[in-house]
Amino acid sequence: MKFFPSFLLSCLLLISSGAFAQTTKSKAKGPATATLQLKTSAVCDMCKARLEKAMAYEKGVQQATLDVPSQMLTVTFRPDKTNAAALTSAVQKTGYDANDQQADDKAYERLPECCKKTNDVH
């Protein structure tokens, strides 16, 4: 019977010491997040959904929001995980222009007709 209380106390000490071993030091490398704004060729709400979803799959992206009337995509990202060039390329590979850089031709052709910038409906 004397074994059980000492065993329980040993387990408790072992568990509590393990909790302290999990703490890590944070490295201060600069800002935790950065924001990038890109002028896109997006024209409708389907474009909005497509771009925001595609950006969500990009490494380091915290949030992406497209304002359809102004065609501005605002991306909040972690600079230690990605950069503006990679995000611009991701927009192009989704089929949309990004600032002054043209969309990837194959990706643009895969867009629905309503999402193409040559469509006169918009």
- Angle at which helices 45-56 and 84-94 cross, to 10°: 130
φ, ψ dihedrals at 48, nearest 5°: -55, -50
CB 52 within 8 Å of CB 38: no
Residue 9 pLDDT > 70: no
Residue 4 pLDDT > 70: no
User: What's the CA gap between 41 and 47, in Å, rounded?
Assistant: 9
Q: What's the pTM value of the predicted model, to 2 decimals? A: 0.71
Task: Identify the CA nearest to 71 among candidates 105, 106, 122, 10.
Answer: 122
Tens of pLDDT, residue by residue over 41-56, are 999 999 999 999 999 9
CB 85 within 8 Å of CB 101: no
User: What's the CA gap between 73 and 43, in Å, rounded?
Assistant: 12
Average pLDDT taken over every residue of the chain: 82
CB 47 within 8 Å of CB 69: no
